[in-house]
Amino acid sequence: MTQEKDTLDGDCHASAGAYLPFPISYYRHGLSDCGGGLGPWKNADCLPNMMIRYARTRKCLKHLQKLAGCYWMERDGCPEHCYIEGTFDLDFYMVSLINNSKGFGHAVYAEFLGGDMQTFSSWKFYLFGNLDIKPGDWQMPYGTKTEDTKVKIYEITGIITCALPDYVPESPKAVFLIDEYGTVTPEEEE
């Protein structure tokens, strides 16, 4: 896409498309049915960025009313957008990435590409401007000698707030471990 077609208002990107390949700086709550945001803007870290993208998938339709009261803004001076701006035929899930020995915790989203959910290559990981997160990227670091990086993939079962999904922590769809060399293995069930 050319720069002209990808931006609005100078440095503000258009919101069209499923993946939103740029980070979102702010979010807030507001009127239902995309009637406009209210109150102060809050800083958007990984979870609100994941939720905004989840709201563009077919899986969000069961949570439409709750998401239609949520708003985002790319950065200061850019227009406000409702989370619900069109849905796409995508199968997205929330991903928790943890490595306590590195002090690392992050949330991204994954698109299920089909096949076996317990196979790492059946998933594609996204967030912010990275449309293909891989082991070794800052968003999915290698493990250490003492601890693997754990990648847990969850189905979103509800919407608590504009920045917080509900899910069943005991029931991930898949769990993978990334060792210090970048080797990915499914976690063995206990």
111 Cβ contact list (under 8 Å, min separation 6): 90, 91, 92, 93, 123, 124, 125, 126
Start-to-end CA span in the chain (Å): 47
Residue with structure tokens 């440095």?
11
Question: pLDDT band for position 7 (50/70/90)?
Answer: very low
Q: Which is more confidently placed, 25 or 9?
A: 25
pLDDT by residue (tens digit) across 84-104? 988 899 889 999 999 999 999
Taking alpha carbons only, the member of 18, 178, 48, 23 closest to residue 111 is: 18
More confident residue, 18 or 147: 147
| pTM (predicted TM-score) | 0.90
- Token readout for 71 is 């708003």
- Mean predicted confidence (pLDDT) in 78-84: 95
Of residues 10 and 84, which shows the higher confidence score?
84
Q: CA 184 from chain center: how many Å?
A: 21
